[in-house]
A and B are shown apart, each in its own frame.
Chain A
Amino acid sequence: MCLGIPAKVIEIKEDNTGKVDYLGTKIKVNFSLIDDIKVGDYVILHAGFAISKLDEKEVEETLSLLKDFIENK
């Protein structure tokens, strides 16, 4: 199952569990598979676990690449 959702971290507890928010829905999540997470970061959520942190710089770069396509560069 590759289904993974990009969700925003809204709560991190001491035991590495917490909550993320996806389009207004809050989900319980386990952060034990990744390090250096803070509230406000985006993660990929899969089967109740955060498996990767989203690099927001790369999101911007991809969006910028897409705009290049529109301008036919």
Chain B
Amino acid sequence: MKNKNLKKISLEIGSGGRLMKEFISNEIVSLFNNEILNELHDSALLPENIAFTTDSYVVDPIFFPGGDIGKLCINGTVNDLIVSGAKPLYISLALILEEGFSTRDLRKILNSIKEAADRADVKIVSGDTKVVKKGQGDKIYINTSGIGILISRPRLNDIKPGDKVIVTGTLGEHALSIMLARGDFGLDARIKSDCAPLNFLLPIWKKGVLWMRDITRGGLASVLNELVENLPYSCIIHEEKLPLSSPVKGASEILGIDPLYLACEGRAVMIVEGKKALSILSEIKGNKLGRNASIIGEISEKFGKSGELLLNTLSGGWRLLEPLTSELLPRIC
């Protein structure tokens, strides 16, 4: 049902939380309405085992510790395919450039794109370039769409109590690296974006993975809430098992933000069959990008109500992990 009070688009609508979801549901899905779109997976799962996804990149600043908009625009789209069970193959690349944007910077970004595409084993096969007047776009915006071949499909209906939650690495680094790079806070921390391709996770899909998502806008808590709200069970996360680096712990406490709501760009969370959790963990940890992977929780029917995401705190208490209303920061990816 359309929101009659929505006269103008606010920043919060683009920020990945509840408000954005409502906007998409009311304005986009209800209008275009088809059985593929309505699933709202990270990638559209098409007939003939094709997965198709698209993403636009407006990150500010365009160069940040650990990467740039070029690295991001490939890995973000590649990862959307991988977490949907597809091997990524082809990418389209659309550039919207602001008049006056530095050619040197553009070449740097294009080289990052090439490096990232080679690393993720995908080909750039189609593209477009537009230039807008100075002041009508902010340096560079990029859209990438991706096509992949499905090798497995998520099995939401098979998720049951005792199945485990695994994250593939430390949390919150991308969002914090962006925040600090904006230079607003007088903080200096060794935090680099975790932007990376998740191709190394493809082989485990057939070894007991039931569901997977990349942990982007809204962070781990938002992503897990989206899963849990549709389950007849609750999901418990154990705070002591969360992989968090010291700089992330320190910086997020100083800034008063919760790392569970911070975006990553190279980390996945998955639900795996309980009995296979240890072997899957071991395989993930065999790859450098997965070295800090951890089993952080489980699906439960004993604690909490169905649809709830709960945190078992360091101190032995419990708290609810509510979905984020809107992203803490604009233009994080």
Question: In the complex, A touching B, CB below 8 Å?
Answer: yes
B254 and A5 form a contact (CB under 8 A)? yes
Q: 1/0 contact trace for B253-269 toward A, CB 8 Å?
A: 11010000000000000
A25 and B256 form a contact (CB under 8 A)? no
With A3-B256, A5-B253, A5-B254 already in contact, the answer to whether A25 and B186 are too (CB < 8 A) is no
Interface residues of A in 1-26 (CB under 8 A from B): 3, 5, 22-26
Interface assignment of A48: CB less than 8 Å from any CB of chain B: yes
Q: 1/0 contact trace for A33-56 toward B, CB 8 Å?
A: 000000000000100100000000
Assembled-state Cα–Cα distance A54/B246 (Å)? 21
With both beta carbons as reference points, the residue of chain B lying nearest to A28 in the complex is identified as: B186
In this complex, the interface size class of chain B, counting residues with CB under 8 Å from chain A, is: 10 to 19
Instruction: Identify 7 new A-B residue pairs, CB closer than 8 A, beyond the known A24-B189, A27-B187.
Output: A22-B253, A22-B254, A23-B249, A25-B187, A25-B188, A25-B251, A45-B254
| Minimum Cβ distance to chain B for residue A19 (Å) | 8
A24 and B247 form a contact (CB under 8 A)? yes
| Minimum Cβ distance to chain B for residue A10 (Å) | 11
Interface assignment of B250: CB less than 8 Å from any CB of chain A: yes
Across the interface, which residues of B come within 8 angstroms of A28, CB to CB? 186
Across the interface, which residues of B come within 8 angstroms of A27, CB to CB? 186-188, 254
| Minimum Cβ distance to chain A for residue B254 (Å) | 6
With both beta carbons as reference points, the residue of chain A lying nearest to B255 in the complex is identified as: A25
